[in-house]
Structure 1
Amino acid sequence: MQLLARAKQWAQADPDPATKEELLRLIEAAQAGDKDAKGQLKDAFSGPLQFGTAGLRGALGPGESRMNEAVVVRATAGLMSWLNSKVATPRVVIGCDARYGSAQLASAAAEVVSAAGGEALKLAPAQPTPITAFAVRKLGADAGIMVTASHNPARDNGYKVYLGGRIATGPAQGVQIISPADAQIAEAIVAAKPANQVPRSRQGIVAVDVAEEYLRAVVAPSPQQDLKIVLTPMHGVGGPLCRKALQRAGFADVTLVAAQADPDPDFPTVAFPNPEEVGALDLAFETATQVGADLVIAVDPDADRCAVAIPAGQGFKQLSGEETGALLGNAVAAQGGSGTLATSIVSSRLLGEIARANGLDFVQTLTGFKWIARTPNLLYGYEEAIGHCPAPALVRDKDGIAAAVAIAKLAAKQKKAGNTLQDALDELARRFGLYQTAPLTFRVDSLPEIERAMERLRQNPPTALAGAAISKIEDLSNGTDTLPPANVLVLQTEANDRVVIRPSGTEPKLKCYLEVVLPAGDEVPYLAAKQRLERVRAEVSAACGL
């Protein structure tokens, strides 16, 4: 079918008057010879938005390739078709953040769930993602829908799915979908009727509020703590709940970054609403300097990730996800007992050393919390991209709010002993060696370039890195005893340095994760580690040939 015919057919079935009108204007302009309008139509109909383990994510706008009401209605129809084939009267929790369109899309999803014979449990608008993940487990829901694009740019929105209740069992309860569920749901979405023919009903939608239950479950009331905190929710939905959680944990001295405290879908004070981006915490650092803060905490716009910064010299130093992960993992391990610490294959191996030293099990999974959170007997899990799961019995996903409380408690404990979080990191280095990591990313014009680079590395891998011979090469394309197949190469040297190389799952990028390990004495060799990382980076760049 030709582009204009497809666009007209979609417009006819679009249940949202706003996107329908926008699409009809584009069609009219394209028919009149407007090249820009025709280009926009091509983008909007460049193939259906693909449903995968991360659900759906894309730019807002009309058309099959964008996030909009029509796409969400058909996605929910497909999800309900799949759920109805598994269980009677599926119970589904629906939540959303404060992005453009989120409340509208969540309401549409709830109406489809209700009309399809499901029990639609709808959270109030503008809630953190961990609340939806918590509600799936707490309410025994068979599935959860969260309308969010997390820390993506303002133009985007998304739709992620959790499974639980009678659909998922054991450690998979309340975890994001994986194969084969994603492909089966995707097939059901393809088979769904046009959006204006999908039944919808507002009858039977039940409003639920679990925020207070979440707070009581995740945070034990504590005496007042001596710690001055600056908190930014990055124009997202995490501010009120994160502040309440910190106050419940005894942290009364919490200053919100005023310009970023309230939800604003334009994210006006940051180039990208991602705490990892350079400059994203500048306002938080300014506020922290003004009030003399001991700790800076940033949760991303849907509050599932948490970034941390500490005083350093005349300013503040942002900890990496690896550093925060090691600190929190060590704190959990020190509590004793049995269980498992988990992280992904691209994250630092330091957590494994911490687990072994404390008699705990350690598991490495493929990247993403959909894998980490499935770990049986999980005590704590993290990934390098500032995602932490400190309360897996309650939230089987990244939880920036629970992580904020956990790191604040650790900082207060260190301060009471006359120490800092940097002192705690130095002590870990002296005990286990200094594990330092860095990313290396190549953006390319086409996916075949990535495959050619991976094939070059498989056929002609480097024989040494930073002067140390390569001692081990793992190709995970056929899987291992503990990991499913993945397009990943792991290089390890005789000096115990490691490089993990994999294509991005969402963008035309080749990602390399570099790690060097140096022994540490009284002086922790941060400069030497940085220099070695730079040398490894240069040699891996040459080997990739990009």
Structure 2
Amino acid sequence: MSTQQILEKAKQWLVAPFDATTQEKVQKLIDNNDNNLTESFYKDMEFGTGGMRGIMGVGTNRINQYTLGRATQGLANYLHQTFPDKELKVAIAFDCRHNSKSLAKIVADVITANNIRALLFEDLRTTPELSFAVRHLGCDAGIVLTASHNPPEYNGYKVYWNDGGQIVPPHDKKIIEEVSSVNFDKINFKANENLLSIIGKEVDEAFNKASVANGTFNTPNRNKLKIVFTSLHGTSIMSVPKVLKMAGFKDVHIVKEQEKPDGDFPTVASPNPEEPAALKMATDLAEKIGADIVIGTDPDSDRLGIAVRNLENKLVLLNGNQTMAVMTDYLIKQWHEDGRLNGNQFVATTIVSTNLIEKIAQSYNVVTKICLTGFKWIADLIREAEGEQEFIGGGEESFGYMVGDFIRDKDAVTATLLACEIAAHAKNNNSTIYKELLNLYSKHGYYKEYLISLTKKGMDGAQQISQMMVDMRNSPLKNIDGSPVEFLFDYESSICTNLLTGEKTAIDLPKSNVLIYQTKDGTKVAARPSGTEPKIKFYFSVNLPLEKTEDATIVDKLLTQKIDRIIKEMQLN
């Protein structure tokens, strides 16, 4: 889009239906004639893998009452088209971010203005509870205002369908088409307060009970596990302490400095439990009191980070793949011991996550279903299997996990409970989560994964990311760390090419801008632009046999060196 086109687009916001405050802010952008004007208007905000997420402010590429109102008007139009003779209901939740509460009320206003009942949470709640509420309350859709672990200036908007999962084809594209067809002057903001219901305690109690039912397995001595928990200023403080107490975990120490919800996230550079610095206050407290396990969750409580004691009794952070592997093995084992495995169960993971999950499931003769990145695709697998197969659990490398089928999104509340259950079970058997992980490596192979995210902001950044993907498609790598690349999986063209034979096979998944290289020695390198952030992500997975757990340090070092060589070879350092 040219500079003149951007300017003309911005000028449309200087008149009604935009309010005086908005007009004043846009005029300042025009007067300053700087990059902020371009960034605010060069495109319309789009739905990605995690919905709509962006910086708050005025403009078509910003989160504000008009972009959210337009999205909600489009959703309302689509709901009326899809269910023409039904009394419609939409559940709405919001997190701790700045403006989330007021924006959620504006969203509810648009919903009720369109003759749809809005069930709005009384205060901030976790994203998994919103997913639960959609089915629990018999809603036709759900909306949550959140920007997950993004910086404080961000907010976002995720839409859920009546199955409790985030929207997938065909609904997502059709909703986007409806949203795109809505002019800003056609947004109905005139609320019908008679159609607004405030919800809270009853849903909380039902969600917490379901979380305990799905995340615990009659493990004794839970009160002997010493836990440090931090909500990182987010919404999990509304649920996690309660479910831990309900389950019998009594020795729980909350990081007080991070207990209060705060959209500024004042004690961390980033409220992302994937980053070790975010959990430093928690691990410092754990070392001080001798805790067994540390758990931290992101602002909307769908991701969790875990630290456990290693063989030297030092706290180490597990990555998402490691946490997922331990949880998946434990869940399947519990199903097996309870006599619930009959060949009709499955676990789920994503194309950029560790192959260890499939190895674990195979050892129990349980099917692994692999989908695109994002829990909406795992939820879609569950929906497709309803009545035929049971979902045990599943996750992805980005620190998310889902236990059972009572919700259909990643759930740090129940996953926190499950992590503590596994730790308590291990402690009863003179083991630890770390030792259980090493046992899995010894049995199935030592898999080590690593992620590099390159941030490329703005319009120029988006073009750079696009060009990087084009280059990797047009000039694919032939060798990675000395091993021939055997397969190139191109999820945008839906074709897997054997680079050694030239044979091509179809990929039976929805199209997505992802490339995966797989070598003869089992190395996997994936590249994909983020759907929610201005980043391109590179995923590395390497593996070696682990003959005995005592050799873990040596094998880990060898795999780290291999990853370092690949990164250098790809000129990503």
Tell me, yes or no, whether TM beats 0.5. yes
Determine if the alignment matches structure 1 residue 489 to structure 2 residue 515.
yes
- Equivalent position of 2:451 in the other structure: 439
Match of 1:192 among 174, 179, 182: 182
Contact conserved, 1:288 with 1:296, CA < 8 A, in 2? yes
Contact conserved, 1:53 with 1:178, CA < 8 A, in 2? no
Change (3 A) 1:159 1:263: same
Letter in 2 for 1:440: I
How far is 1:264 from its partner? 0.7
Letter in 1 for 2:480: L
Q: Does 188-197 or 125-134 show the bigger shift?
A: 188-197
- Equivalent position of 2:168 in the other structure: 178
Q: Does 120-129 or 453-462 show the bigger shift?
A: 453-462
Give the 3-state SS of the residue equivalent to 1:63 in structure 2.
Answer: coil
Tell me the distance in 1 between the aligned counterparts of 2:396 and 2:291. Answer: 26
Letter in 2 for 1:202: E
Change (3 A) 1:149 1:448: closer
Change (3 A) 1:460 1:41: closer
Match of 2:393 among 363, 373, 380: 380
Tell me the distance in 2 between the aligned counterparts of 1:66 and 1:463. Answer: 41
How far is 1:200 from its partner? 2.5
How far is 1:13 from its partner? 3.8
- Equivalent position of 2:561 in the other structure: 534
Letter in 2 for 1:132: L
Match of 2:47 among 41, 46, 51: 51
Tell me the distance in 1 between the aligned counterparts of 2:572 and 2:541. Answer: 20
- Equivalent position of 1:162 in the other structure: 160
Letter in 2 for 1:405: L
Tell me the distance in 2 between the aligned counterparts of 1:421 and 1:545. Answer: 33
How far is 1:189 from its partner? 1.8
Q: Which runs of 5+ in 2 are unaligned?
A: 495-505
Determine if the alignment matches structure 1 residue 475 to structure 2 residue 490.
yes
Tell me the distance in 2 between the aligned counterparts of 1:176 and 1:529. Answer: 37
How far is 1:442 from its partner? 4.1
Give a deviation string over 1:384-436, Cα, whole Å, max 9, x none. Answer: 00000013x21100000000000100000001111111110111011111111
Determine if the alignment matches structure 1 residue 366 to structure 2 residue 349.
no
Give the 3-state SS of the residue equivalent to 2:278 in structure 1.
Answer: coil
Q: Does 55-64 or 152-161 show the bigger shift?
A: 55-64
How far is 1:530 from its partner? 3.6
Match of 2:254 among 244, 253, 256: 256
Letter in 1 for 2:397: E
Tell me the distance in 1 between the aligned counterparts of 2:431 and 2:365. Answer: 26
Tell me the distance in 2 between the aligned counterparts of 1:11 and 1:527. Answer: 64
Letter in 2 for 1:54: G
Contact conserved, 1:285 with 1:315, CA < 8 A, in 2? no
Determine if the alignment matches structure 1 residue 277 to structure 2 residue 283.
no
Change (3 A) 1:62 1:494: closer
Contact conserved, 1:473 with 1:490, CA < 8 A, in 2? yes
How far is 1:23 from its partner? 4.3
- Equivalent position of 1:423 in the other structure: 435
Tell me the distance in 2 between the aligned counterparts of 1:247 and 1:513. Answer: 37
Give the 3-state SS of the residue equivalent to 2:277 in structure 1.
Answer: coil
Tell me the distance in 2 between the aligned counterparts of 1:513 and 1:41. Answer: 34
Letter in 1 for 2:238: P
How far is 1:349 from its partner? 0.6
Tell me the distance in 2 between the aligned counterparts of 1:443 and 1:298. Answer: 24
How far is 1:237 from its partner? 1.1
Tell me the distance in 2 between the aligned counterparts of 1:78 and 1:543. Answer: 43
Letter in 1 for 2:530: S
Determine if the alignment matches structure 1 residue 10 to structure 2 residue 13.
yes
Q: Does 191-200 or 209-218 show the bigger shift?
A: 191-200
Tell me the distance in 2 between the aligned counterparts of 1:195 and 1:100. Answer: 26
- Equivalent position of 2:502 in the other structure: none
- Equivalent position of 2:529 in the other structure: 503
Tell me the distance in 2 between the aligned counterparts of 1:265 and 1:149. Answer: 11
Letter in 2 for 1:413: H
How far is 1:535 from its partner? 2.9
How far is 1:276 from its partner? 1.2
Give the 3-state SS of the residue equivalent to 2:489 in structure 1.
Answer: strand
Match of 1:80 among 70, 76, 79: 76
How far is 1:2 from its partner? 6.5
Tell me the distance in 2 between the aligned counterparts of 1:44 and 1:463. Answer: 41
Tell me the distance in 2 between the aligned counterparts of 1:448 and 1:21. Answer: 33
Contact conserved, 2:110 with 2:187, CA < 8 A, in 1? no
* Structure 2 counterparts to residues 113-512 of structure 1, below 5 A: 113-164=111-162, 173-194=163-184, 198=188, 199-209=190-200, 210-220=203-213, 225=222, 226-312=224-310, 313=312, 315-335=314-334, 336=336, 337=341, 338-375=344-381, 376=385, 377-391=390-404, 393-443=405-455, 446-479=461-494, 480-507=506-533, 509-512=535-538
Letter in 1 for 2:552: P
Tell me the distance in 2 between the aligned counterparts of 1:384 and 1:95. Answer: 26
Letter in 2 for 1:102: S
Determine if the alignment matches structure 1 residue 63 to structure 2 residue 59.
yes
Q: Which runs of 5+ in 1 are unaligned?
A: 165-172
Give the 3-state SS of the residue equivalent to 1:80 in structure 2.
Answer: helix
Contact conserved, 2:347 with 2:391, CA < 8 A, in 1? yes
Give the 3-state SS of the residue equivalent to 1:304 in structure 2.
Answer: coil
Tell me the distance in 2 between the aligned counterparts of 1:115 and 1:11. Answer: 25
How far is 1:536 from its partner? 4.1
Letter in 2 for 1:518: L
Q: What is the RMSD computed on CA atoms of the aligned residues?
A: 2.5
Change (3 A) 1:24 1:438: same
How far is 1:187 from its partner? 2.2
Tell me the distance in 1 between the aligned counterparts of 2:187 and 2:365. Answer: 57
- Equivalent position of 1:21 in the other structure: 21
How far is 1:51 from its partner? 3.2
Matched positions, count: 530
Q: Does 343-352 or 194-203 show the bigger shift?
A: 194-203
Letter in 2 for 1:528: V
Change (3 A) 1:11 1:55: farther
Give a deviation string over 1:192-249, Cα, whole Å, max 9, x none. Answer: 2435851422222112220110011120486651101000000011113101111111
Tell me the distance in 1 between the aligned counterparts of 2:465 and 2:59. Answer: 29
Contact conserved, 2:52 with 2:532, CA < 8 A, in 1? no
Q: Does 439-448 or 360-369 show the bigger shift?
A: 439-448
Q: Does 477-486 or 411-420 show the bigger shift?
A: 477-486
Give the 3-state SS of the residue equivalent to 1:373 in structure 2.
Answer: helix
Give a deviation string over 1:80-138, Cα, whole Å, max 9, x none. Answer: 00110011332111111121111111111112111211121112221011110000111
Tell me the distance in 2 between the aligned counterparts of 1:448 and 1:30. Answer: 23
How far is 1:42 from its partner? 3.6
Give the 3-state SS of the residue equivalent to 1:264 in structure 2.
Answer: coil
Q: Does 332-341 or 298-307 show the bigger shift?
A: 332-341
Contact conserved, 1:7 with 1:23, CA < 8 A, in 2? no
Give a deviation string over 1:173-194, Cα, whole Å, max 9, x none. Answer: 2111123322221222233243
Letter in 1 for 2:359: E
The higher-RCO structure (CA 8 Å, 6+ apart) is: 2
Give percent identity, aligned residues only: 35
Give the 3-state SS of the residue equivalent to 1:279 in structure 2.
Answer: helix
How far is 1:258 from its partner? 0.5
- Equivalent position of 1:111 in the other structure: 109
Tell me the distance in 2 between the aligned counterparts of 1:52 and 1:489. Answer: 17
Tell me the distance in 2 between the aligned counterparts of 1:25 and 1:475. Answer: 43
How far is 1:253 from its partner? 0.9
Tell me the distance in 2 between the aligned counterparts of 1:447 and 1:4. Answer: 20
Change (3 A) 1:378 1:305: same
Contact conserved, 2:48 with 2:532, CA < 8 A, in 1? no
Tell me the distance in 2 between the aligned counterparts of 1:124 and 1:453. Answer: 45
Tell me the distance in 1 between the aligned counterparts of 2:77 and 2:91. Answer: 16
